[in-house]
Amino acid sequence: MPGDVPEWLAAIRAENPPAAEPPAASTDWLSQLREADGSAQQGPPAGEPPTWVQAGETGAANGEQVPDWLARVRGRQAEDSETGEPPLGVPNLAAPPPARRDESDSRPLPPLELPGLEETDSGVFYPPESPKAGQPVPGAEPPGLTDSGVFRLKTGINISADKEAPMPSWLGQLEAEAGAPPAVPTGLPSVPALVRAEDLSGPQLPGEDFSAEALSLPEWLGQLGSEAAVVEPAEGRPDLAPATLPAWLEAMRPVDAFRSSVEIGPEEEQAVEAAGPLAGLRGVLLAEPVVAIPRMASAAPALLEVNERQYAQAELMHRLVEEEQREVSPAAPRRRHVPVVRWLVAAVLLAAAALPTVLGVPTFPLPSTVPLELDPLVSLVAAAPANRPVLVVFEFEPGNAAELQAVAEPMLEQMMQQGLAIAALSTRSTGALMADQQLSTLGGNYGYSNGQGYVNLGYLPGGSVGVQLWSQDPLAVPTSGFALPSAPDGTQLQSPWQVPMLAGVDEVADFGMVAVVSSSAEAARTWVEQAGPWMGATPLVLVMTTGADPVVRPYYEAQNPQVDGMLSSLPTALSYSMRLGRPGASFSLWNAFGLSAWAAVVFMILGWIPAFGVWINQQRKLRGAQR
Amino acid sequence: MKRVSTVLLAIAAGTAGMIVLLSYFLDLPYLSEASQWLKQTAVLLGAAALLVGLLNLVGVHLGKIGGQEKGWAYSALLVVMLAVTFTLGILFGIDNRSVAALFRYVQLPVESTLIALLAVSLTAAGYRLIARRAGVFNSIFMISAILFILGSIPWLILPGLAEPFGILRTWLAEVWAVGGARGLLLGVALGSITAGLRVLLAADRPYGD
Amino acid sequence: MTDLAGMLDSVIGPLAAALLTLMVLSYLIGDNPLFRIAAYLFIGVASGYAGALVIRSVLWPGLIDPVLQAGASGLLDPALITQVLLPGILVVLLLFKLSPGIGRLGSLSLVLLLGVAAAVVVGGAISGTLLPQTAATVQTLNPAAVAPRTGETGIERLTNAVIVLSGTLLTLASFRFTQRKPRGQVSGPSMGPWQRGVRQVAGLFIAITFGVMFGGALLAAVVVLAQRVQFLWSTVLGLVSQVLG
C-alpha cells in the first residue's frame, strides 16, 4: 500500500540504527522532507494522491488537455495495474532518466579496483569475479522498482535497464524511445552507493503528498536496499569491494605526492554525516569539522624541504631586495685638489727665470773649470779635413731646440769658422726645419747660405732601417732635400746630391765627421749601432741633452770607443763658446739658467724638512708605543 | 684558412728578418741584394705606415665631430689646422714660407713651452719624493740628482764650492753612472735581441693573427 | 706681399707665438680650454706637416715620380718592377689597414716591415752594443790600461775601474727576463738570498744612474723654461718698440 515502509527498508533500519542524530538546526532536504509530513515516519506519506494528481486525472477524465508526459505516465500506470505491477506515481520531480548511452557509444569499462574494498551488501560494486551485472544476487531482489518506488540499483556504471528485471513502465517507455536498451555490460566497475538503502525515504517535498508508487527513483537506489537486506556482511571483511584501476588511468594519476592510499573502512565503522545536504549518510566526507568549521592549517604542510642551493638563491634574492630598498647615500662632494706645491714651484721658477732676463740680476760667474771632454772635441773638429763635408744630424724635437741649439751652436760655429761644408740630415719630420733654421741663422755670420756652405739633405725616412741603409748607400734612400738651392745656371735642383759640395760623397765614410745632435739616447744609440760599422775612420761626435748624457757615455768612455767626441750641458757649451771667443745663446741663457736651477735645487732640498718632521713623528709614536 | 694565412705571415716575417740579419754577418751577393731590397721596401712601408696613422687620426676626430661628442670643437680645430698645413705643404712644398711660418709660430712655441712645463713638474716631483717617500733608495736617487745639479750650475754664493762640487759631479756622472748605464745598455741590448728574435721566430706576432 | 711677410715675421708671428706660449703656461694653474686649444692647434699643424712631408719627400719621389718618368713603356722594366711597382703594391696593401673589413690584406706589408725592423734592431744590438760594450767591460780589468778620457792611472784608475765594473755587472745581474721559483716552492719570493743581495747593491748603482739622469733632465728643462721667458720678454719689448715706433 502506498505510504507503507517497504520491508527492505524496515529490515535495514532494524539492523543499522542511525548512528548520529541529525542536528537541531539541520537544513538538509531530507530532514525537511521528514518535517514536512510532521512525523518521523519514513516513506512517502500515506493518504490520497495529491490533489493536483487527482485533478490531473479528473481533468483528463473531463477531457481537459493534459501534458503528454502525464498522459504517458497514466497510461503506463494503467498498464501496470493491469499487469499487476505496482503503479507508477506521477513523479513530482522531473527525475532525469538514468544516464543512457547508445549501444554504439557504450564501451565496456575496465573493472575498477579499489584496494581494500570488498563487495558490499548494499553496494553496487561487484568484483569481476562476482556475479555479473544483470544476474541476480543470491538472495537479493532483482533490480527494479520496488514497492516504495525506489529503484534498485543494477550492477555497472552504465545504468541501463535490465531487461530481465522489472522496471517501471515509464522507464521502459523511455528506453523504448531511446531505442533498444543497451545490453548491460559485463564486468563494469561499480561505484559504492552514496545513499544507503535504509536511509532512503524517498524524495519528499514539504507540502506534497506522495505515494511510494508515484516516485520514480533510480534503480541503483533500489538495489541498495535490497542487497543490504539480504546480503550479510562477512565478518572482518570491509564493505566495499576492492576495485582495480586500469593501467591507462593509473598512468594518468598524479605522482606519489598525491597518491594516497585510501582506506575505506567497513560501513558500520564510518561516521554518519551530521550536517549539510548529506546528513545522515555514512561513508561521506564529513562537512564538519573538516570543511565547514575553519581551522588553522596543520604545521605539516608548512614544513618545506629546502636544499642548500635553494637556500642560497633565497638569500641572494633577499639581499637583492634589501639592496633595492636601501637608500644610496649621496656621494660626498668631490674635494677639489689644490696643487699648492705646483703653484709655488711655478711661481718661484718663473720668477727666477724672469729676474735676470728683465732686470739683469743676478749675474752668475762664468764656468771656470773646463770639462774633460771639451778639449778632445775641439781638437776633433779642428782636425776635420776641409775638403770633405761634415754631416750634422739634427735628431731632436722642436721642444728641445732651445737647449740643443744652444749646446750645438759653438761646434757649428767652429765648423763654420774653419770653412767646413755642412750637410744636414734628420730622421725626424721637423729635423730639416730645425736644421734650416739654425744653419741659416748662424751661417749668416760666416757667409754661409743654402747651397753655399751648407746643404739640407732633408728627411731620412725609415728610422733605424733608414739609417742603416743610408749609411751603406746614401743614394739608396730617396731624400728630396729641403729648400734646395738653385743651380748656378738658375735651374732648380731636383736632388741635394746635385749640390757641388757633396760631390765625391758616396757613403757615410766619405764625410769628414759625423755629429749627431740628439735629445734622446735612443736616437744616438741608433746612429752608433747602425752607422758606426760603416763609418770607418770618420769620427763620430754626439751632442746630447744633459739628461741622456749618462746613457750614451759608455760608448765614449771605453778603451776602444765607438764615439769619438761628446758635448752636453749648457756649462760645457758656454765654455766652448768662451774658447771660440763668440758668446752665443748659451751666454744669454746663463744667468736665467743659473738662478732657475738654484731655485729648483733649493726647493727639492726643502723637501727634507717635512720628511724630517714625519720621521720625528714616527719616532715619537714608536717611543710612545714602547712605553 | 685563417690558420694557414697566419702561418704564412709568420713565415714571411721570419724569412725577411733572417735575410736582413744574416746580411749583417755574411757577405753574400744574393743575400746582400735581397737584404737591400727588403730594407728599401721597409723604408717606403715605414713612410706609408706614418700616413696610415695620420689618416686614422683624422678619422677618429672626424668621428668625434660627426657624433658631436664631448670636446668635438677641439677636434674640429685640429682637423682644420691639419687640413690647412697639409694642403699648404702639398701644394707649395714643405719648405714653403707659409709652412715654415706655421712651424715657427705655432708648433715650435707650443712644443717648447710643453717641455718648459717639465721643469716645474720635475721640481715638484722631486720635492714630493723627498717629503713623502724618503726611503733609502729614494734618498740616494735625490742626493745624486742634487749633487749633479750643484756640480753643473754656477755658484753665486760661496763660489769656492763650485770646483769641488764640479769634481764630485764628474765622478758621479763618469764613473758611478757609467757603470750603471753600461749595465743598462747591455740589459737593453739583450732585451732588444730577445724581443727581435721572438718576432723573427714568430713567437710574438705584433702584426696580429 | 713683402710688407705682409715682414709683418708676419715681426709682429703677427711673434705675437701668435707669445700668446700660444702663455696659453700653454696657463696649464700651471690648471687644465683649461686655452691650454687645450693650443695643444690641439699644435697637433693639427704637426700632423699636417708630417703628412705632407711623407708624401712629398718619400712616397712621391720613391714611387710615383719614377712611374711617371718611366711612362707606359717603361712599366715592364724589371728594375722598375722590383724597385718601384712591387713596393708600391705593398704600400697600397698597407693602406687597406685603415678599413677593418679588408685590413687583413695589409698584413703582408706589416709583417715585412716588422720583420725587417726587428732584424735591424737585433743586428745593431749585437754588433753595435753587446759585443763592443762587453769588450769594454773586459778591458776595464786591464791594470795597465790608462783611462782613455781622464788619463788616470794607478790606484785612482783601479778604483774607478772597479766601480764601473761592479756597476756594470751588478746592474746587468739585476735584469731578470725569466725567473723560476725554487723547486718545490709554490708561493713566496722567487729569489734566493744571494739574488736579493745582488739586487740591493745593484739598486744603489741604478739609483745613482737614474738620479744623474733626473738631474740632467731637470737642467735641460730649466734651460728651455729660461729661453721661453726670454722669448716672451723679447716679444713684449719688440711689440712695444713697434707700437712706439
Domains and CATH numbers, chain A: 7-93+109-226 (no CATH), 374-568 (3.40.50)
What pLDDT is recorded for position A410? 96
The percent of residues above 70 in pLDDT, for chain A, comes to: 58
Q: If DSSP states are collapsed to H, E and C, what string results for A2-39?
A: CCCCCHHHHHHHHHCCCCCCCCCCCCCHHHHHHHHCCC
Q: Is the pLDDT of residue A66 over 80?
A: no
CA A237 – CA A268 distance, rounded (Å): 11
Q: Using CB atoms, which residue from C133, C213, C219 is nearest to A597?
A: C219
Say which range, A86-90, B37-41, C169-173, C190-194, has the weakest mean pLDDT. Answer: A86-90
CA-based angle C117:C119:C121, to the nearest 5? Answer: 70
Q: Do A357 and C229 touch (CB under 8 A)?
A: yes
Average pLDDT over residues B10-30: 88
Closest approach of A600 to chain B, Cα-based (Å): 6
The percent of residues above 90 in pLDDT, for chain A, comes to: 33
B201 touches chain C (CB under 8 A): no
Chain A residues touching B112 at Cβ < 8 A: 398-399, 401-402
Highest-pLDDT range among B81-90, B151-160, C59-68, C189-198: B81-90
Q: If DSSP states are collapsed to H, E and C, what string results for B51-100?
A: HHHHHHHHHHHHHHHHCCCCCHHHHHHHHHHHHHHHHHHHHHCCCCHHHH
Residue C182, preceding bond cis, omega within 30 degrees? no
What pLDDT is recorded for position A174? 56
Average pLDDT over residues C163-173: 86
Top-confidence residue, A619 or A24: A619
C63 touches chain B (CB under 8 A): yes
**Mean per-residue pLDDT of chain A:** 73
Average pLDDT over residues C181-204: 72
What pLDDT is recorded for position C217? 95
Residues 101-160 of C with CB under 8 A from B: 104, 107-123, 125-127, 129-130, 133-134, 136-137, 149-150, 160
Say which range, A221-235, A267-281, B138-152, has the weakest mean pLDDT. Answer: A221-235
Q: A167 pLDDT band (50/70/90 cuts)?
A: low
Q: Do C136 and A558 touch (CB under 8 A)?
A: yes
CA A423 – CA A225 distance, rounded (Å): 136
C48 touches chain A (CB under 8 A): no
Q: A611 pLDDT band (50/70/90 cuts)?
A: confident
Average pLDDT over residues A426-453: 93
Q: Spell C138-176 as b/e; 16+ CB within 10 A means b.
A: eebeeeeeebbbbebeeeebeebbebbbbbbbbbbebee
CA C215 – CA C217 distance, rounded (Å): 5
pLDDT tens, position by position, B134-188: 788 999 999 999 999 999 999 988 888 988 999 999 999 988 998 888 888 888 8
pLDDT tens, position by position, C22-38: 999 999 999 999 999 99
Q: Do B182 and A437 touch (CB under 8 A)?
A: no
Beta bridge partners of A424: A392, A456
Give me the amino acid identity at C81: I
Task: Please name the chains neighbouring A, where neighbouring means 3+ C-beta pairs under 8 angstroms.
Answer: B, C
Q: Do C233 and A550 touch (CB under 8 A)?
A: no
What pLDDT is recorded for position A103? 44
Average pLDDT over residues A11-24: 55
Q: A11 pLDDT band (50/70/90 cuts)?
A: confident
pLDDT tens, position by position, A409-432: 999 999 999 999 999 999 999 999
Closest approach of C144 to chain A, Cα-based (Å): 12
pLDDT tens, position by position, A101-145: 444 444 444 554 545 445 454 444 444 444 444 444 455 454 444
Top-confidence residue, A240 or A111: A240
B55 touches chain C (CB under 8 A): yes
Top-confidence residue, A274 or A444: A444
Chain A residues touching B177 at Cβ < 8 A: 550, 553
Residues 80-139 of B with CB under 8 A from A: 94-95, 100, 103-104, 107-108, 111-112, 114-115, 119-124, 126-132, 134
What is this structure's pTM? 0.69
What pLDDT is recorded for position C178? 55
Report domain extents, chain C. Answer: 165-178+192-245
What pLDDT is recorded for position A169? 62
pLDDT tens, position by position, B93-130: 999 999 999 999 999 999 999 999 999 999 999 999 99
Say which range, A218-232, A349-363, B43-57, has the weakest mean pLDDT. Answer: A218-232
Say which range, A39-43, B149-153, B191-195, has the weakest mean pLDDT. Answer: A39-43
Q: Do C224 and B148 touch (CB under 8 A)?
A: no
B140 touches chain C (CB under 8 A): yes
Q: C202 pLDDT band (50/70/90 cuts)?
A: confident
Say which range, A589-593, C25-29, C103-107, has the weakest mean pLDDT. Answer: C103-107
Q: Which three cell numbers stand for residue A624?
A: 710612545
B190 touches chain C (CB under 8 A): yes
Q: Do B177 and C52 touch (CB under 8 A)?
A: no
Q: A196 pLDDT band (50/70/90 cuts)?
A: low
Say which range, A324-333, A432-441, C123-132, C148-157, has the weakest mean pLDDT. Answer: C148-157
CA B107 – CA A547 distance, rounded (Å): 23
Chain A residues touching B42 at Cβ < 8 A: 462, 465
Closest approach of C226 to chain A, Cα-based (Å): 5
B161 touches chain A (CB under 8 A): no
Average pLDDT over residues C100-124: 89
**Mean per-residue pLDDT of chain B:** 90
Closest approach of C94 to chain A, Cα-based (Å): 15
What pLDDT is recorded for position A127? 47
Report domain extents, chain B. Answer: 135-204
CA A104 – CA B72 distance, rounded (Å): 87
Q: Do B106 and C149 touch (CB under 8 A)?
A: no
Q: C172 pLDDT band (50/70/90 cuts)?
A: confident
Chain A residues touching C121 at Cβ < 8 A: 464
CA A335 – CA A355 distance, rounded (Å): 36
CA atoms within 13 A on the CB side of C131: 10
Task: Cell 677639489: give the residue.
Answer: A336
Closest approach of C80 to chain B, Cα-based (Å): 12
Q: Spell C57-80 as b/e; 16+ CB within 10 A means b.
A: bbbbbbbeebeeebeeeeeeeeeb
Which of B103, B110, B146, B153 to probe the A interface (max A CBs under 10 A)? Answer: B153
Q: Is the pLDDT of residue C242 over 90?
A: no
Average pLDDT over residues A591-614: 93
CA A161 – CA A167 distance, rounded (Å): 7
Average pLDDT over residues C199-211: 90
Backbone angles phi, psi at A423, to 5 degrees: -110, 125
C100-104: long-range pairs with CB below 8 Å, 24+: C104/B5
Which of A407, A495, A593, A605 to probe the C interface (max C CBs under 10 A)? Answer: A593
Using alpha carbons, list the distances in angstroms from residue B145 to A348, A417, A423, A597, C210: 20, 37, 37, 12, 8
Q: Do C148 and A557 touch (CB under 8 A)?
A: yes
Chain B residues touching A551 at Cβ < 8 A: 181, 184-185
Q: Using CB atoms, which residue from C13, C98, C125 is nearest to B101?
A: C13
Q: Is the pLDDT of residue A513 over 60?
A: yes
Q: Is the pLDDT of residue C226 over 90?
A: yes
